[in-house]
Amino acid sequence: MIFIVIPAYNEEQRIGRVIRDLFEHGFSNVVVVDDGSSDNTVKEVVDAGAVVINHLVNRGQGAALQTGNDFVLKNGAEIIVHFDADGQFNVADISCGVKKMQEENLDIIFGSRFLDTRSKVPFFKKYFILPISRIINNHFTKIKLSDVHNGFRIMNRKAAQKIIITQNQMAHNSEIPRLVKEHELKYDELPVEVLYFENGQGVSGGFKILWDLLLAKINK
Amino acid sequence: MMVIQIVLVLFFLMVILKVLRRFRAGDIKGIEAVGWVFFWLVAVGVVSNPNSTSFLAKILGVGRGVDAVIYLSIALLFFLVFKIFVHLEKIERQITRLTRQDALDRAQKYENPTHHS
């Protein structure tokens, strides 16, 4: 059974469309983890017909993903897809990923914006922020990925059981590759399309992630 | 006595009163209260008689007693901030665990949705 897990925080504008899009592509098991939204995210999800589980207080994207993983594992998920609530990803990429995973017997697939030319990454982000992030990330995770902090992931049951996300905030994007390395999971990247709206993490978000990673090292 | 000394001594005495009040309210344990009162009494002593620290300076090889006190205070502050940091992080994780457990407990039993086609 394929489950789509979507962490959502104040996404009432876009979440409904994302869910309907997934349904139209034949993905019927859609679980949204509402991360303590203060808007109508929950209602939108219920109206769209997806399952919602909700954090009473906001805990961050990493925490929401782990809650989602726990839930779908309990409900017999064999394949879990992490997907964004804001419609940045292309639903069509999921099937390609699942197919690739099964054909190549992979445990986890990471989405990457840089393996084809579909994603129009903003200039500053592409040539300044991301290269620096990549160096830092590869240092922390010890595995080489062409993209960093891309929320698109597909994992099998085994990977989801091994990967326990402890980073509440955005640093989970670095934590997951590190755990993949640690547990020797078979991974690969998949070209995915990312549409750019005006949101996203700027440079300060990057520093917050670095800070969280360093803290985690101290706290070990 | 310099004005700063008077201000500081009054401030420290106020803190001691606060500590005692917290102790009476049951917010802190007896041993903690004793520790803090002792700490602030020492602070009062140091401020009202700065020369009392010169022996400390001699032991540590620092020029003046006041300098020694400042160095030690900064070290202590850093240590306390670090401790609070670690503690906060732990609390963050505990809150996440609680939130997650609660969310999973409240989640309805999952049924394969069939109402859309």
Residues 6+ apart with CB under 8 A from B28: B19, B22, B36
pLDDT tens digit sequence for B59-107? 888 878 888 888 889 999 999 999 999 999 999 999 999 999 999 999 8
According to the model, what pLDDT value does residue B117 have? 41
Residue A50 neighbours by CB distance under 10 Å: 25
Mutate to test the interface with A, among B85, B94, B99, B104 (most CBs of A within 10 A): B99
Please classify residue B28 by burial: count the beta carbons closer than 10 Å to its beta carbon, then call 0-12 exposed, 13-18 middle and 19+ buried.
middle
Residue A103 tokens read as 């054909």
CA atoms within 13 A on the CB side of A167: 22
| Closest alpha carbon within chain A to B89 | A219
Q: Are A31 and A3 in contact (CB under 8 A)?
A: yes
**Residue among B82, B99, B103, B107 at smallest CA distance from A168:** B99
Interface predicted TM-score of the whole assembly (ipTM), two decimals: 0.81
According to the model, what pLDDT value does residue B114 have? 54
Instruction: Give kind and range of the element (H or E) at residue A191.
Output: strand A187-191
Q: Helix A130-141 vs helix A203-219: angle between axes, to the nearest 10 degrees?
A: 10
On average, the pLDDT of chain A sits at 87
A219 touches B: beta carbon within 8 Å: yes
Of B110, B112, B115, the CB nearest to A49: B115
pLDDT tens digit sequence for A19-63? 999 999 999 999 999 999 999 999 999 999 999 999 999 999 999
List CB contacts (< 8 A) between B106 and chain A: 53-54
A67 touches B: beta carbon within 8 Å: yes
